[in-house]
Amino acid sequence: MQKDRKALEYLYDHYSAALFGIISRIVPAEEMAQEVLQDCFLKIWDNIKSFDPVKGKLFTWMAKIARNLAIDKTRSRDFKSQLKSDSPEDYSLMEKNHFEPSINSEAIDVKDIVSGLNQDQKQLIDLMYFRGYTQAEISKEFDIPLGTVKSKVRLGMNKLRSIFNI
């Protein structure tokens, strides 16, 4: 038991900031985002046995849990009542006001990434990865065909990969 707790602490120490970054982009209300983060680690813990390393990386799996919990939160009643008092979501405004720079000094600076991606590509990737948009939702919102969504994302991702040297 003690060992398992240590393991969970390890996960918390290493991944909470990255997961909090995802959650905060979907749930801008600070307190609610914190709540989702805590729920997220409980859920990770409860489901950890169902994680299958053959299928993919641990972080991908955890990020999915975080994203889904955050999206669930946005559909909840207390989120909607909170929204009424806030101004409607403005993507670019949110990026500017809400987020301090990365705390992870080892990670590549966000600015470097943004300069490598064009505005379209970054927005698309962010909407999907950080805000949980499906390709159908993107297609509808931006009035572009499904296939174009795919290829645009692939293009942006290839750029990301060259920035990260992967």
Query: 118: which 2 tokens?
Result: 């064009």
| Part in contact with another protein (CB under 8 A); list of ranges 52-60, 73-81, 84-92 | 52-60
Closest distance of CB 100 from another protein, Å: 7
Task: Choose which of 83, 113, 142, 144 interacts with another protein (CB under 8 A).
Answer: 113
* Residues 63 to 102 in contact with another protein, rule: CB under 8 A: 63-64, 67-68, 99-100, 102
Which is nearest to 48 in space by CA: 66, 64, 34, 61? 61
User: How many Å apart are CA 121 and CA 113, to the nearest integer?
Assistant: 11
Task: Choose which of 32, 41, 70, 73 interacts with another protein (CB under 8 A).
Answer: 41
SS3 155: helix
Task: Choose which of 76, 93, 107, 141 interacts with another protein (CB under 8 A).
Answer: 107
Which is nearest to 12 in space by CA: 36, 56, 45, 35? 45
Number of neighbouring beta carbons within 10 Å of residue 89: 11
- Burial of 62 per CB tally in 10 Å (0-12, 13-18, 19+): buried
| Part in contact with another protein (CB under 8 A); list of ranges 33-41, 73-81, 82-90 | 33-41
Closest distance of CB 87 from another protein, Å: 21
Contact (CB, 8 A) for 67 and 26: yes
Closest distance of CB 65 from another protein, Å: 10
Comparison of 56 and 81: residue with beta carbon closer to another protein? 56
